[in-house]
Structure 1
Amino acid sequence: MSFSLPVYREPDFSAPALCGAPDAVFAAAPCDGVAPEHYHATTIFPEYFKVGGRWLLACESRMDCVAVLEDGEIHTREFRRLRAGDLVAVGRTEDGRDGIYVHADGFAQEDGGSGELFSFRQGRSRETAYSRDYNQIYDLLRHEREHGFVTWVLGPACTFDHDTREAMSKLIDAGYVSGLLAGNALATHDLEAGYLRTALGQDIYTQRSEPNGHYNHIDTLNRVRLHGSIPAFVEAEGIRDGIMCHCVRQRVPFVLVGSVRDDGPLPEVYADVYEGQDAMRAIVSRSTTVICLATTLHAIATGNMTPSYRVLADGTVRPVYFYSVDISEFAVNKLRDRGSLGVKTIVTNVQDFVVNIQRGLGL
């Protein structure tokens, strides 16, 4: 069965509640970084604002931001990016009565007569059967390789196993990875594996701890810093395998954002969280599919800046697919609890997940 994107259906603006709705009200930001009182906070869903009698769709959304009217368009902006005088939408209703309408069901579609909503609001657990999910992901990734932008958000568990690193490398080489978001640990342990065949001092195939292996990730960090960058390290040290190596070779953009506990860190790691957030947002703003593996904090961060839709260059509105995969039910449920209502969760070992995806795609 061939994959096809669900058709987006605009709101019925001829309905009395929307046809008779007033124009949205915009108030000036009182100073830099501060929204006016009674500001409207945006969601992950398509949002329309009535301006001059016309309903305008925000080009992109992000939860917990504000809508700014600028040059006749609606822009979603973080509070920290506001400038004094910016015209910010005000109003706390979402049904049109304040000239603001949040369209949560734009991708509702029939699925074998079940009437299932696209926005995946269903409980998932370790007892859920995921066979159909895997088949959907295979079809989705084949479609996205030609028509979309697939961002992977990886935790360090993806680097501790030989087969997982190899499978992820094949996905990168085959064009199924358009961008990578991660932290210092993912990149460090992956480079350690390529450099010393260990991850956190353990052999990546046998899982045996090597003598003095606890030095290996620090030695790797130190060596990368000596060379000045990850690409320079890969070239100078003759690294031939691994996630970061293949990202460098295939020119896949990656963003590494650090945390308080990071060693080193690697030269490319963003130490300033807002600079890192901006860099992540640049990747997310291009993404049409996001797959998060075994990284609660980075998954929540990415989820909070990912809308449920994307407006393409031709004006078409399409969904953004978002998956969170973790062996912990707590981890995947926490993302949904934080507002990423469109996330589809899979509770499984991420190392098995990556290998299954690679094999399912025939790589």
Structure 2
Amino acid sequence: MTNFASDNVTAMAPEILAALAAANEGPAMPYGADPVTERVRARFNEIFETETVVYPVATGTAANVLGLSLLTPPYGAVYCHRDAHIAVDECGAPEFYTGGAKLVTLEGAQGKLTADILAAEIGGAGDVHHVQPSAISLTQATEVGTLYRPDEVAAISEVAQRHKLGLQMDGARFANAIAALGCSPAEMTWKAGVDVLAFGATKNGAMAAEAVVIFKPELAGEFGFRRKRGGHLFSKGRFLSAQLEGYLADDLWLRHARHANSLAARLGAGLSGLPGITLHHPVEANILFLRLPKAVVDGLKAAGFMFYDWANATTGHDHREIRLVTAFNSVSEDVEAFIASAASLARDAAA
């Protein structure tokens, strides 16, 4: 089976597995007081060109919601896109870890918020009957695979600062965004006004490792307590940090992302223009959303390809919506085989 369902389906990258094995030698102090974690924190400072406060965690959910909890009180409002992972796929975890803050979901073309959208929607400050505007959360890359440019983040940050809101970035696919845009991590985050970043590694070759990167030290004082209270402080923390150390060494994280992005671009180019197949969004990272005839979808599945397939009321019975995701270890032969099968099936369906 060739699996394009998600970048979560992959095994670990060999380099990260080797880093884990190296960290497994001998004793080390627990709860992050180990030399591996110390090196990882120094590496994050290098990558982001500034002093950061970094906390490794095991899941993207923990990275997102614990970071958000620093920015909003229980009566706060967190503004995000209606398709944001925190709004659709976190099972109420943002509300739980913030003590009850409300997610205010907004529309935005191509999965993105804009400064104008936010400026028009943020309100209620000081009114005891309303949740209080507290934070904005951006997903990078977005849930549909599009990207925020640094100037777009900076414009949103200006709105956040005007209303005294924090700005959090869900960077589960942060590497894919940096690799695609060619900007520096600093330009995408703190230089553009981001306060807290959920830095992803699991989707790009790690086993279970993310990091909360805090760019304002004054925000970090509570985090250790929130992580412990939330059940995300690992006693053998070196094994989280070892994954991040292997991931960041020799720019592995960017090389992986470039590879995944390039194969997604090839899929997009090969599938665009085929009869009956519509690409919904620009292919900017490693995700594609397409509308295909049902016969093509069924034929691709019969040929051994795996992907997410959704029924959609707007497509009728003869078409389906699918998502394809490429990963750090996807191979070009599988991409070419998918394109060839889709082309043949699309021509047959059109005939």
TM-score, structure 1 normalization: 0.27
TM-score, structure 2 normalization: 0.28
Higher helix share: 2
Q: Larger Cα Rg: Structure 1 or Structure 2?
A: 1
